Amino acid sequence: MLSKMKNQKGFTLIEVLVVVIIVAILAALAVPRYLRYVEKSRSTEAQTAISTIRKSYDVYLQTNGTTEGYSLELAQKDARLGESTVKNWKFEVIGNPPKKIIATSTQDFPGGEGKQVWYDIVEAKFHGYGVDQWTDPESGGIEAD
């Protein structure tokens, strides 16, 4: 009778180990997915800013017939990017008219410095951090998915 009461009051070591193993497996599956979700959401700031800068170039081109003399600084001013976006990302435009717009994260960016998101105007497609590349939690580097 005493042994039955002991079994009812607590868990055996095997039961505890099974629960710990199940939790570890679930965490191993969930953590990389969560990290990708975070990177995708962080990259949307750069994607939105790139789209706005691109539209500034488009408006200037439609108004003036050329983008000659229209600098990135003017495009950013016309795009009215928020303070946090300007603080988190540095932008670069390749080509005139633009063929590619690149955003590179600064040291103030929560995901770390040196992450790149770019828009290829010819392909009409975003690439880079949080779009088609994610941080590999095992190595700390970037890998393509």
Kindly compute the dihedral angle of the four CA atoms of residues 19, 25, 28, 33, in this order, to the nearest 10 degrees. -100
pLDDT of residue 137: 56
Count up the domains in the chain and report the number.
1
**Do 79 and 70 touch, CB atoms closer than 8 A?**
no
**Do 78 and 58 touch, CB atoms closer than 8 A?**
no
Query: Alpha-carbon torsion 9, 15, 20, 23, what sign?
Result: negative
Q: Which residues of the chain have pLDDT under 50?
A: 1-2, 4-5, 7
Residues 124-133: tens digit of each pLDDT: 999 999 998 7
Closest CA to 42 of 117, 92, 139: 117
Residues 110-124: tens digit of each pLDDT: 989 999 999 999 999
pLDDT of residue 10: 76
Q: Give how far Cα 142 sits from Cα of 8, 47, 83, 135, Å.
A: 50, 18, 27, 4
pLDDT of residue 26: 93
- Domain of 26 in residue numbering reads as 2-144
